[in-house]
């Protein structure tokens, strides 16, 4: 807790004063252009990775960067997506997975989920990853099998995102773009899913 308090004091002393005017504007209004759907993993820090600041990203986080498709059920992720698309009118939506994803690991070996019934239930939404498994990437080394499935999960959740009613409407109206990304923790690099070529390529390609 002490470390957190020290960090907040540094924010008040060093960061906030420099951006005081921006925070003043943000205090009564937010207008992000990007909806960023990613994993709850502590190693994934969207604003740091992308070099953006307060007010730039509307972030939805859940284990496995999952976008559930569950009929009339209500959950935090899909409610966040609906709000971002319909109320905030974001222009872009990204589903971002990452290397060494524990959620995808757990789908391969569920014996460790005996005491985690809610997690076990949530991870059923990752099953589509097996259908969309990607080619092995030699750069992943010993994690190539896992990496192919993690990327497959990004593609699966991208399909789920497109199936959300609010997203489907926005895509039809031409006011929203959607993308699937894979973030490699060890290198800091991001790959994007090229839907035309049905493979992951460098973010800037």
Same structural domain, 4 and 40: no
Same structural domain, 35 and 25: no
Same structural domain, 1 and 40: no
Same structural domain, 91 and 20: no
202 falls within a domain:
no
pLDDT per residue as tens digits for the range 7-48: 999 999 999 999 999 999 999 999 999 999 999 999 999 999
154 falls within a domain:
yes
| Spatial distance between the Cα atoms of 91 and 176, rounded to a whole number of angstroms | 5
Same structural domain, 40 and 22: no
Same structural domain, 44 and 11: no
For 78-81, the CB contacts below 8 A with 24+ separation are 78/164, 80/35, 81/35, 81/37, 81/161, 81/164, 81/166, 81/167
The total domain count for the chain is: 2
Q: pLDDT higher for 111 or 77?
A: 77
Report the chain's mean pLDDT, rounded to a whole number.
94
Whole-prediction pTM: 0.94
Same structural domain, 72 and 131: yes
CATH number at residue 67: 3.40.1050.10
Q: Which residues contact 168 (CB under 8 A, 6 or more apart)?
A: 162
203 falls within a domain:
no
Same structural domain, 24 and 87: no
Task: Determine the pLDDT at residue 111.
Answer: 78
Same structural domain, 36 and 25: no
Print the domain residue range for 13: 1-29
Same structural domain, 113 and 181: yes
- Highest averaged pLDDT of the listed ranges 128-132, 139-143, 171-175: 171-175
Same structural domain, 20 and 42: no
Same structural domain, 77 and 63: yes
């Amino acid at each position: 807790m002490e470390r957190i308090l020290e960090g907040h004091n540094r924010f008040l002393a060093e960061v906030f004063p420099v951006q005081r005017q921006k925070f003043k504007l943000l205090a009564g209004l937010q207008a992000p252009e990007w909806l960023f759907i990613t994993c709850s993993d502590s190693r994934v820090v969207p604003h740091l990775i992308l070099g953006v600041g307060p007010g730039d990203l509307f972030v939805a986080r859940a284990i496995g960067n999952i976008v559930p498709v569950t009929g009339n059920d209500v959950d935090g992720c899909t409610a966040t997506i609906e709000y971002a698309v319909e109320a905030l009118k974001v222009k872009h939506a990204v589903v971002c997975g990452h290397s060494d994803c524990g959620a995808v690991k757990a789908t391969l070996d569920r014996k460790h989920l005996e005491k985690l019934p809610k997690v076990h239930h949530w991870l059923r939404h990752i099953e589509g990853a097996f259908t969309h498994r990607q080619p092995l990437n030699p750069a992943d080394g010993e994690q190539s099998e896992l990496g192919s499935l993690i990327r497959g999960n990004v593609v699966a959740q991208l399909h789920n995102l497109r199936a959300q009613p609010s997203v489907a409407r926005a895509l039809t109206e031409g006011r929203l773009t959607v993308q699937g990304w894979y973030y490699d923790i060890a290198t800091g690099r991001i790959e994007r899913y090229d839907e035309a070529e049905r493979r992951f390529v460098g973010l800037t390609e």
